[in-house]
Chain A
Amino acid sequence: AQKVTQAQTEISVVEKEDVTLDCVYETRDTTYYLFWYKQPPSGELVFLIRRNSFDEQNEISGRYSWNFQKSTSSFNFTITASQVVDSAVYFCALSEETGGKLIFGQGTELSVKP
């Protein structure tokens, strides 16, 4: 069965600090997809990134970067030079190729203080 673990429940940083959110997943499929979503206090789920299991290249988008390591079943997310607007709950999620389920981790609540 698929499972996503985000061990960090809450993280608090001061603005301009770098912060890494951890995500570990379990699946028996060889083809799967990993996602990060952001949920600000307003409640909507904002898509950040999708990765398939065959693409282990790290990705950078502005202040955001993602490190995908199949060997450790991890898909970690780093925010560089954090800002107050980054305060939100961040969810890592996993979808296997068959079935259609997108399963979320428990989420990490990030608080960035000025």
Chain B
Amino acid sequence: DTEVTQTPKHLVMGMTNKKSLKCEQHMGHRAMYWYKQKAKKPPELMFVYSYEKLSINESVPSRFSPECPNSSLLNLHLHALQPEDSALYLCASNMWFGEKLFFGSGTQLSVL
């Protein structure tokens, strides 16, 4: 299994909703990442988990809350988002820093 699986593929939510994005990999990777990508822009790093511990938070607003319940799963909890948070959210993983990143196909999020 060489895939990173993200669910849901699409999500529409209101500004008062609470939702979660889910990411799963079974490649034994020890580092997992959340990226945010706006249209016509490059992916921007949000969070990095290494061995299930948060190692990088790129000054992301607290309305985004990551969680790594185990080495295969990564969640992104969303609460009180703004319309400008609408974007493609990409999950990725690799074995070690500097190795090739495997990306999921993303969750296209729309905040109304």
- Are A102 and B101 also in contact (CB < 8 A) when A43-B88, A45-B43 are? yes
CA distance A104 to B35 in the complex (A): 11
* Closest chain B residue to A97, Cβ basis: B98
Question: Which residues does chain B contribute within 8 Å of A37, judged by CB atoms?
Answer: 103
Task: List which A97-114 residues lie within 8 A (CB) of chain B.
Answer: 97-107
Interface residues of B (CB under 8 A from A): 31, 33, 41-45, 48, 50, 55-56, 88, 90, 92, 97-103, 105-106, 108
CA distance A20 to B88 in the complex (A): 28
CA distance A44 to B102 in the complex (A): 10
- Are A91 and B98 also in contact (CB < 8 A) when A43-B106, A99-B56, A100-B48 are? no
* Closest chain B residue to A101, Cβ basis: B45
Asked if A33 is at the interface of the complex by the 8 Å CB criterion, the answer is: yes
- Are A102 and B45 also in contact (CB < 8 A) when A45-B90, A95-B97, A97-B97 are? yes
CA distance A98 to B108 in the complex (A): 30
Partner of A44, one of B45, B103, B108: B103
- Are A35 and B43 also in contact (CB < 8 A) when A43-B88, A101-B56 are? no
CA distance A101 to B33 in the complex (A): 9
Interface residues of A (CB under 8 A from B): 31-33, 35, 37, 43-45, 47, 50, 52, 91, 95-107
- Are A98 and B42 also in contact (CB < 8 A) when A43-B105, A44-B106 are? no
Q: Can you report 9 residue pairs joining A to B where beta carbons are below 8 Å apart? A: A47-B101, A47-B103, A95-B98, A100-B48, A100-B97, A102-B45, A102-B92, A105-B42, A106-B42
Question: Which residues does chain A contribute within 8 Å of B55, judged by CB atoms?
Answer: 100
B103 and A104 contacting across the interface, CB-CB below 8 Å = no
